[in-house]
């Protein structure tokens, strides 16, 4: 067998990652142990899975474990697993190159905030390199499960640009990582310190993490497990502390923050399974930055064996923020992704996951308002997708949504649809809302002035998803939802005579406006919804809001332009002035300005901003006091 040592250069990006990790994460240097143990645990999971198809892989050495030991004379720390191991190609691929697109994103999203960045390294799949925070040389020897003793590989690097690779005799299957600790890192050559770190960060790893039994301060040949070493979700709930749940959450997700809440259930019945589902405090960075599949939060185990990440099969997309574990007693161990798609048992588990998460959210909403508020802020928009995606649970989901409203305003509070209905005046039949592309725009919508003046609450929707979501909601608890900016709005229907008289009186003005505005408008009407503003745009019941039309148009969608209806407020002084000026040049400016300001308020764009500005300036000059107006040159 060749004993040649080959020297290779890391890919440029690996060098960069190495440099960043070792320098910027120094303040959290002990995370290296968590990352290396987590890799060892993954390797054991992979072996156990591979052994399902090929039991011979583990036949000679069936007890899977991770061993941590140190040698204070040699100043080395060793982490060994008897897991799946790696072939030579796999070592090069996994350790020396940036096979994963996440790495570049990791580099881009490093923030310099060490606390945040320690979290990123786990999420982006660069955890191995954390070894170089404390080591100036790392040796990895490995032998792939099923390979012969002589087919091992020895990899070594000082973490600066290069690594060496050589064939090696490796007595046992699995991977051994030896850290040659830096001068100042002697603290890790302590059984007490290492046990403490393992307890703190890796207690819930489902395999035994063993250390040599100490006798008279010296390590012996005997090994003992220092972690709990059983899958947390299989333990009785009463024996699991909140700290246990949180530590498990962190190891599962690499989230540095605590989970917001969780639900843990064992189901026995036609089929048996265990669910442990977490709601995070905030969206994980990987959802935003990493190239990794966003939908990898839910791990499927079958009888304690990790099978695959199966969030897509076990949760609908609108619950994609949920993290956790599903452990089934009854699915076949050789289950494939395809089989999961179309399996009766899986469908039941999926429905149970949805039910448990909705139960959990309802419980938070009822009993822990502050946590629920945090949830709404982090994931409320994702949950809204469920209105469209999950018709069967629509009412339950709608109950959990929170909206800004004209009545929650002062406290900056959001309201539920139930709050709204509870406050409805007698005789009010519908739930009013308005959509806009910002909260300020929604709040300032002229279309809701009349409702506000009558003390009728209006929900202020300004998330991009709202307009789309509300289209699926339609009604809640038997009450229709109505957009205050659409369709005919007659708030004082009993005053029909007065209305008719006003319309007749305004007839000539409306006609003239229609003529002046031409094709810009579909119609000009007298408004029954305005009290303060002179004008507003009104859309048809089924038209898409103007700000949405603009967004879609900008995104390259063809949007047929419909001429909107302009409503004017006959009480407003500008409209009253217009009556006398309709035929003058100033009157024409004013007519256009009434239309253009209504467009702006509705989130639309002006066809000719320069002409608008010129009109505004003319109007300002005309109305300015001649004494204070600077003489024009």
Residues lying near ligand ADP in the complex (CB under 6 A) = 35, 39-40, 42-43, 81, 83-84, 86, 94-95, 125-128, 175
The interaxial angle of helices 31-53 and 191-202, nearest 10 deg, is: 60
Question: Residue 295 is encoded by which pair of tokens?
Answer: 């939908």
3-state SS class at 430 = coil
* Least spacing, CB of residue 61 vs Mg ion, in Å: 23
CB 615 within 8 A of CB 593: yes
* Least spacing, CB of residue 85 vs Mg ion, in Å: 15
Beta-bridged to residue 178, according to DSSP, are: 78, 139
Residue 461: name the closest of 603, 586, 572 by CA.
603
CB 283 within 8 A of CB 379: yes
Spatial distance between the Cα atoms of 181 and 131, rounded to a whole number of angstroms: 9
Instruction: List phi, psi (to 5°) of 161.
Output: 90, -35
Residue 127: name the closest of 43, 198, 209, 31 by CA.
31
Tell me whether residue 45 or residue 449 sits nearer to ligand ADP (CB atom).
45
CB 599 within 8 A of CB 546: yes
**Which of 119-127, 197-205, 416-424, 510-518 is the region at the interface with Mg ion (rule: CB under 5 A)?**
119-127
* Least spacing, CB of residue 174 vs Mg ion, in Å: 16
Residue 152 binds which of Mg ion, ligand ADP, none (CB < 5-8 A, kind-dependent): none
Read out DSSP for 432-487?
EEEE-SSHHHHHT-GGGHHHHHTT--EEEE-SHHHHHHHHHH-EETTEEEEETTBS
**Which of 33-41, 136-144, 150-158, 379-387 is the region at the interface with Mg ion (rule: CB under 5 A)?**
33-41
Binding mask 122-161 toward Mg ion (x if CB under 5 A, else -) reads -----x----------------------------------
Residue 587 binds which of ligand ADP, Mg ion, none (CB < 5-8 A, kind-dependent): none
Residue 159 binds which of Mg ion, ligand ADP, none (CB < 5-8 A, kind-dependent): none
* Least spacing, CB of residue 174 vs ligand ADP, in Å: 7
CB 550 within 8 A of CB 509: no
Spatial distance between the Cα atoms of 343 and 326, rounded to a whole number of angstroms: 15
* Least spacing, CB of residue 471 vs Mg ion, in Å: 43
* Least spacing, CB of residue 118 vs Mg ion, in Å: 13
How many chain residues interact with Mg ion (CB under 5 A)? Answer: 2
**Three-state SS string across 391-402, please?**
HHHHHHHHHHCC
Residue 443: name the closest of 486, 469, 410, 420 by CA.
410
94 secondary structure, DSSP code: I
* Least spacing, CB of residue 175 vs ligand ADP, in Å: 4
Tell me whether residue 35 or residue 385 sits nearer to ligand ADP (CB atom).
35
* Least spacing, CB of residue 127 vs Mg ion, in Å: 3
Tell me whether residue 126 or residue 322 sits nearer to Mg ion (CB atom).
126
* Least spacing, CB of residue 176 vs ligand ADP, in Å: 8
Tell me whether residue 84 or residue 485 sits nearer to ligand ADP (CB atom).
84
Tell me whether residue 102 or residue 127 sits nearer to Mg ion (CB atom).
127
> At CB < 8 A and 24+ separation, what contacts does 242-248 make?
244/203, 244/204, 247/200, 247/201, 247/203, 247/204, 248/204, 248/276
The interaxial angle of helices 585-601 and 496-517, nearest 10 deg, is: 110
**Which of 32-40, 230-238, 315-323, 447-455 is the region at the interface with Mg ion (rule: CB under 5 A)?**
32-40
403 secondary structure, DSSP code: B
Residue 530 binds which of Mg ion, ligand ADP, none (CB < 5-8 A, kind-dependent): none
Spatial distance between the Cα atoms of 391 and 298, rounded to a whole number of angstroms: 23
Read out DSSP for 510-559?
HHHHHHHHGGG-SEEEE-SS-SSSSEEEEB-TTSPPHHHHHHHHHTT---
* Least spacing, CB of residue 96 vs Mg ion, in Å: 15
Which residue number places its CB atom closest to Mg ion? Answer: 127
Q: Is residue 39 a contact residue for Mg ion (CB under 5 A)?
A: yes
Residue 596 binds which of ligand ADP, Mg ion, none (CB < 5-8 A, kind-dependent): none
Residue 84 binds which of ligand ADP, Mg ion, none (CB < 5-8 A, kind-dependent): ligand ADP
**Which of 15-23, 38-46, 80-88, 217-225 is the region at the interface with Mg ion (rule: CB under 5 A)?**
38-46
Residue 300 binds which of Mg ion, ligand ADP, none (CB < 5-8 A, kind-dependent): none
113 secondary structure, DSSP code: -
* Least spacing, CB of residue 125 vs ligand ADP, in Å: 3
Instruction: List phi, psi (to 5°) of 563.
Output: -75, 125
Distance of CA 461 to the CA centre of its chain: 20
Tell me whether residue 21 or residue 451 sits nearer to ligand ADP (CB atom).
21
Spatial distance between the Cα atoms of 181 and 38, rounded to a whole number of angstroms: 20
Tell me whether residue 131 or residue 524 sits nearer to ligand ADP (CB atom).
131
> In the chain, what is the greatest distance between 2 CA atoms, to the nearest angstrom?
105
**Which of 36-44, 324-332, 364-372, 424-432 is the region at the interface with Mg ion (rule: CB under 5 A)?**
36-44
Spatial distance between the Cα atoms of 68 and 241, rounded to a whole number of angstroms: 26
Tell me whether residue 38 or residue 483 sits nearer to Mg ion (CB atom).
38
Spatial distance between the Cα atoms of 395 and 372, rounded to a whole number of angstroms: 18
* Least spacing, CB of residue 100 vs ligand ADP, in Å: 7
Tell me whether residue 86 or residue 383 sits nearer to Mg ion (CB atom).
86
* Least spacing, CB of residue 349 vs ligand ADP, in Å: 26
Tell me whether residue 103 or residue 416 sits nearer to Mg ion (CB atom).
103
Tell me whether residue 81 or residue 596 sits nearer to ligand ADP (CB atom).
81
Tell me whether residue 125 or residue 191 sits nearer to ligand ADP (CB atom).
125
Tell me whether residue 160 or residue 377 sits nearer to ligand ADP (CB atom).
160
Q: Contact positions toward Mg ion, by CB under 5 A? A: 39, 127
């Amino acid at each position: 067998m060749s004993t040649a040592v080959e020297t290779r250069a890391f890919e440029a990006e690996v060098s960069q990652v190495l440099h960043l990790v070792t320098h910027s994460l120094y303040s959290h240097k002990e995370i290296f142990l968590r990352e290396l143990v987590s890799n060892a645990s993954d390797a054991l999971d992979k072996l156990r899975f591979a052994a399902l198809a090929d039991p011979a892989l583990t036949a000679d050495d069936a007890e899977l474990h991770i061993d941590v030991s140190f040698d204070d004379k040699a100043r080395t720390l060793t982490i060994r697993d008897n897991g799946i191991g790696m072939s030579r190609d796999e070592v090069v691929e996994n350790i020396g190159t940036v096979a994963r697109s996440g790495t570049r994103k990791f580099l881009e999203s490093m923030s310099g905030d060490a606390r945040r960045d320690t979290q990123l390294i786990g999420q982006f799949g660069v955890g191995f390199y954390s070894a170089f925070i404390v080591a100036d040389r790392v040796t990895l020897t490995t032998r792939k499960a099923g390979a012969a003793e002589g087919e091992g590989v020895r990899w070594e690097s000082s973490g600066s640009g290069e690594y060496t690779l050589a064939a090696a005799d490796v007595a046992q299957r699995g991977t051994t990582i030896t850290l040659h600790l830096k001068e100042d890192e002697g603290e890790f050559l302590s059984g007490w310190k290492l046990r403490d770190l393992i307890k703190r960060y890796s207690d819930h790893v489902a395999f035994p993490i063993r250390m040599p039994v100490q006798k008279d301060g010296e390590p012996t040949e005997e090994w003992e497990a220092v972690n709990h070493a059983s899958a947390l979700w299989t333990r009785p709930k009463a024996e699991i502390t909140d700290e246990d749940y949180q530590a498990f959450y962190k190891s599962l997700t690499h989230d540095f923050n605590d989970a917001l809440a969780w639900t843990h259930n064992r189901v026995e019945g036609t089929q048996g399974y265990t669910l442990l589902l977490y709601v995070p405090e905030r969206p994980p960075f990987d959802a935003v930055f990493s190239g990794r599949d966003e939908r990898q939060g839910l791990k499927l185990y079958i009888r304690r064996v990790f099978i695959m990440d199966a969030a897509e099969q076990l949760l609908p997309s609108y619950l994609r923020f949920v993290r956790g574990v599903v452990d089934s007693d009854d699915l076949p161990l050789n289950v494939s992704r395809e089989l999961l798609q179309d399996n009766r048992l899986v469908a039941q588990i999926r429905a149970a996951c949805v039910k448990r998460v909705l139960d959990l959210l309802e419980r938070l909403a009822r009993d822990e308002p502050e946590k629920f508020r945090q949830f709404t802020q982090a994931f409320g928009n994702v949950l809204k997708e469920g209105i469209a995606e999950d018709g069967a649970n629509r009412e339950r989901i709608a109950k959990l949504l929170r909206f800004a409203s004209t009545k929650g305003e002062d406290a900056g509070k959001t309201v539920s649809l139930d709050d709204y209905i509870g406050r409805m005046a007698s005789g009010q039949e519908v739930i009013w809302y308005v959509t806009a592309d910002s909260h300020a725009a929604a709040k300032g919508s002229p279309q809701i002035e009349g409702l506000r003046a009558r003390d009728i609450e209006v929900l202020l929707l300004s998330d991009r998803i709202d307009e789309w979501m509300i289209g699926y909601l339609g009604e809640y608890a038997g009450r229709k939802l109505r957009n205050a900016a659409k369709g005919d709005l007659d708030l004082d229907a009993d005053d029909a005579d007065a209305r008719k008289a006003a319309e007749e009186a305004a007839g000539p003005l409306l006609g003239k406006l229609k003529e002046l505005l031409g094709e810009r408008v579909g119609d000009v009407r007298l408004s029954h919804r305005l009290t303060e503003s002179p004008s507003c745009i009104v859309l048809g019941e089924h038209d898409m809001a103007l700000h949405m039309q603009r967004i879609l148009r900008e995104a390259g969608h063809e949007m047929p332009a419909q001429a909107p209806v302009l409503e004017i407020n006959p009480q407003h002084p500008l409209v009253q002035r217009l009556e006398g000026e309709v035929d003058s040049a100033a009157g024409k400016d004013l007519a256009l300005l009434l239309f253009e300001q209504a467009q702006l308020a509705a989130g639309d764009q002006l066809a000719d901003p320069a002409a608008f500005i010129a009109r505004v300036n003319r109007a300002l000059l005309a109305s300015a006091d001649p004494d204070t107006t600077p003489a024009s040159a």
